[in-house]
Amino acid sequence: MSRIKLELPAQFPFSTEVEVRIGDINYGQHLGNDAVLSFAHEARIRFLKQHGFTEANVAGAGMLMVDAVVVYKSQSFHGDVLKVEVAVADIGRTGCDFLYRLTNRKDGKEIARVKTGVVFFDYAAGKIHPVPEAFRKAVGI
């Protein structure tokens, strides 16, 4: 079986922390895959908020997630506090990738790497929208 490899940037311009709740634990008694994506989503919302944006309004455009990749590195358990780092990469004409690294605050162990691809969307017109210039400036790309 071939494994997906997800390369991460050397630096992440944003980080936040989330605590693993009991509802984030699966039947294997460790962090579930759905919770990893939920933590990435929460971190993306906080990242956007720092720049004055929301997923529904990034300088007049909304965002749609079009793909996701999760690469697990180790387990996480109830009560762990995870540092979720966020970076933006591969900005194109209509979208970009958000990259995330989740690490356990207590021991620094990497838990997971995540990528979510997004496109910008004009909900009123029902069509793809170019990446807003204000977003490009905010993320420095």
* pLDDT tens-digit map of 79-123: 999 999 999 999 999 999 999 999 999 999 999 999 999 999 999
- Residue 7 located in a structural domain: no
- pLDDT band (50, 70, 90) for residue 16: very high
Residue 126, C-beta contacts closer than 8 angstroms, at least 6 positions apart: none
Residue 54, C-beta contacts closer than 8 angstroms, at least 6 positions apart: 45, 48
Mean pLDDT of the chain: 96
- Residue 1 located in a structural domain: no
- Cβ pair 31, 75 in contact under 8 A: yes
Query: Could you tell me what percent of the chain has a pLDDT over 70?
Result: 100
Question: Containing H/E element for 72?
Answer: strand 62-72
- pLDDT band (50, 70, 90) for residue 27: very high
- Residue 6 located in a structural domain: no
- Residue 96 located in a structural domain: yes
Structural domains in the chain (count): 1
- Residue 134 located in a structural domain: yes
CATH (domain of 33): 3.10.129.10
Domain that holds residue 39: 14-139
* pLDDT tens-digit map of 63-72: 999 999 999 9
∠ CA 112-46-107, rounded to 5°: 35
- Residue 5 located in a structural domain: no
Bridge partners (DSSP) of residue 15 are: 85
Q: pTM of the predicted model, to two decimals?
A: 0.95
| Whole-number pLDDT of residue 140 | 86
- Residue 111 located in a structural domain: yes
- Residue 3 located in a structural domain: no
Give the pair of three-digit tokens for residue 9: 């940037």
The dihedral region occupied by 122, where left means phi > 0, alpha psi between -120 and 50, and beta the remainder, is beta
